[in-house]
Structure 1
Amino acid sequence: MSGVPLKHQRITEVLAKEIRSGRRPAGERLPGEHALAQRFGVSRTTVRAALAELCEAGLIATRTGKGSYVLFDGRPLEDSLGWARALATRSTDARVRTLAVREVREARLAEQLALADGEFVCVERTRELVADGTVVTYERSFLPPVPGIRELPGRGFAGESLTDVMLRAGLRPDHGEQRLAGRRIDAREAELLRRTPGDWFLDTRRTSRAADGSFVEHVVSLLDPDHFQLTLEFG
């Protein structure tokens, strides 16, 4: 029914009230995802969505655990819910430009992802810093053509972020893998990134899947190495 908050929004409201009222003092560590999931009777994916909203509102700060992850200007990015929110939580004023939204058929990608169907909706975007106009990412997101996504080429985003559209369509990332390499950009990429052909960029390939293992998103990104780095914690 319209007007009824989503599960993660209800959790966000409860925790935000506890934080603002002083019931949870500043700096106090929140219970872990498992404990919060048990408290509210929801999945850990729902808890993560609520924590992302609290982080975006500036009410909590998240710390990345051990493993490999991407940094922006030396600070960890939790990008499971999208680059836009990840950069927003780091007080980075960035602007997204959507270059194209179209239906594509990628048999080779489908084979790599072990998908029976090679049809995707591809969203092509760049992201630039508002302060100086530097383009820091060029991204191609490949999404399954499920209801809520298959209409994007004709409808557009209508002011919504890609993250919000995905969540509304039931595409909630739970786990996946990300690969990173470095390469020189070609002429078309250089034009989009406002750089010189042959400049060096980080090339990442990230595949996200839902808790049940179903495909959620495959993102191919070129990241400006002057701003993005990869770090690894161990021990």
Structure 2
Amino acid sequence: MRTAGTVLWRDIAERLATEIRSGTWAVGERLPPEEALAARFGVNRHTLRQAVASLAEAGLIRVRQGRGTFVNTAPALEYRVGARTRYTERVTQQNRLPDGRLLGSSLRPAEAEAAARLQCEEGTPLIVLELLRMADGLPISLVTTHFPAARFAGIDRQFEAHRSITQALLHFGVQDYRRSFTRVSARLPGKEEAARLHQPPREPLLVVEGVNVDPAGCPIEYSIARCPAERLQVVMES
């Protein structure tokens, strides 16, 4: 037989769970402080803590000591990096809906790192795209990607039309390409990165650099993806 106190904390847990599942609280968002939630539901802190513990056990939230209580993320996306790495394919294989948004594009002279990766002279004109990639509407990565302008003039418009790098490259006759270089590191996000990725500023990013080459071995793309570490697992294929 349940006591009134038991019923109360379960009711609070169910109400908060409904709000989380309906999107009232976004993934990664911090819930109001304990005292605010206790006041909202008209209960003492002990009862509120029972409700919070129940939600944490169910995997809907995570409690960070000294930092607060956050809505849990969806299961991490497994991003397998191999000879043929395609974002859309990797996401759809996990029954999730991929999407990509063009945040901006520009024509820039190649700096030292991009020039080395693309095997061109410093100062060579490059088209640089800034992309936001998502899975099921959840931001997965911010990507800065570079293409030789002489070969890929207008690739920004092609990406905007198809929302896929692979489809955009087809327009320029690139039927296939493969990954020739990958480097993974980690760091904290900048303020704008945290805002665009909807993640706390103290949560680390995975930084995944990559070079793709065409069938002749000519570099066609150098990309730098910044990904919330809790939302993406990088798996290196041999």
> TM-score w.r.t. structure 2 length?
0.58
Supply the distance in 2 between the matched residues of 1:153 and 1:232 (Cα, whole angstroms): 29
Alpha-carbon distance change, 85 to 231 in structure 1, aligned in 2, over 3 angstroms:
closer
Supply the distance in 2 between the matched residues of 1:115 and 1:126 (Cα, whole angstroms): 27
Larger Rg: 2
Q: Name the SS for the 1:104 alignment partner.
A: strand
- Residue 51 of structure 1 corresponds to none
Supply the distance in 1 between the matched residues of 2:236 and 2:158 (Cα, whole angstroms): 40
Judging by fraction of residues, say which structure has more helix: 2
Q: Indicate whether 1:163 and 2:166 are aligned.
A: yes
Alpha-carbon distance change, 190 to 169 in structure 1, aligned in 2, over 3 angstroms:
same
Preserved CA contact (<8 Å) 1:175 1:211: no
Supply the distance in 2 between the matched residues of 1:140 and 1:77 (Cα, whole angstroms): 18
Alpha-carbon distance change, 226 to 144 in structure 1, aligned in 2, over 3 angstroms:
same
Q: Name the SS for the 1:207 alignment partner.
A: strand
Alpha-carbon distance change, 79 to 93 in structure 1, aligned in 2, over 3 angstroms:
farther
Q: Indicate whether 1:150 and 2:156 are aligned.
A: no
- Residue 120 of structure 2 corresponds to 115
Count of matched residue positions in the alignment of Structure 1 and Structure 2: 160
Supply the distance in 2 between the matched residues of 1:167 and 1:227 (Cα, whole angstroms): 29
Alpha-carbon distance change, 90 to 209 in structure 1, aligned in 2, over 3 angstroms:
same
CA shift for structure 1 position 173: 1.7
Q: Name the SS for the 1:188 alignment partner.
A: helix
Correspondence 1:204-219 to 2 at 5 A: 204-219=208-223
Supply the distance in 1 between the matched residues of 2:157 and 2:99 (Cα, whole angstroms): 22
Supply the distance in 1 between the matched residues of 2:185 and 2:131 (Cα, whole angstroms): 20
CA shift for structure 1 position 104: 1.8
Preserved CA contact (<8 Å) 1:77 1:87: no
Report the AA paired with residue 226 of structure 1.
E
- Residue 145 of structure 2 corresponds to 141
Preserved CA contact (<8 Å) 2:159 2:168: no
- Residue 93 of structure 1 corresponds to 97
Correspondence 1:30-179 to 2 at 5 A: 73-74=77-78, 76=80, 80=84, 82-113=86-117, 114-116=119-121, 118-130=124-136, 133-147=137-151, 149-153=152-156, 157-159=160-162, 161-171=164-174, 172-179=176-183
Q: What is the root-mean-square deviation in Å for CA atoms of aligned residues?
A: 2.7
> TM-score w.r.t. structure 1 length?
0.58
Report the AA paired with residue 143 of structure 1.
F
For 1:199, which of 176, 181, 203 is the aligned residue? 203
Report the AA paired with residue 216 of structure 2.
D
Q: Deviations over 1:5-54 (max 9, x none)?
A: xxxxxxxxxxxxxxxxxxxxxxxxxxxxxxxxxxxxxxxxxxxxxxxxxx
- Residue 189 of structure 1 corresponds to 193
CA shift for structure 1 position 233: 7.0
Alpha-carbon distance change, 146 to 88 in structure 1, aligned in 2, over 3 angstroms:
farther
Gaps of 5+ in 1: 1-71
CA shift for structure 1 position 156: 6.2
Gaps of 5+ in 2: 1-75
Report the AA paired with residue 162 of structure 1.
I
Preserved CA contact (<8 Å) 1:96 1:125: yes
Supply the distance in 1 between the matched residues of 2:135 and 2:188 (Cα, whole angstroms): 22
Alpha-carbon distance change, 98 to 79 in structure 1, aligned in 2, over 3 angstroms:
farther
Supply the distance in 1 between the matched residues of 2:214 and 2:171 (Cα, whole angstroms): 14
Preserved CA contact (<8 Å) 2:189 2:203: yes
Preserved CA contact (<8 Å) 1:186 1:198: no
Q: Name the SS for the 1:157 alignment partner.
A: helix
Alpha-carbon distance change, 155 to 175 in structure 1, aligned in 2, over 3 angstroms:
closer
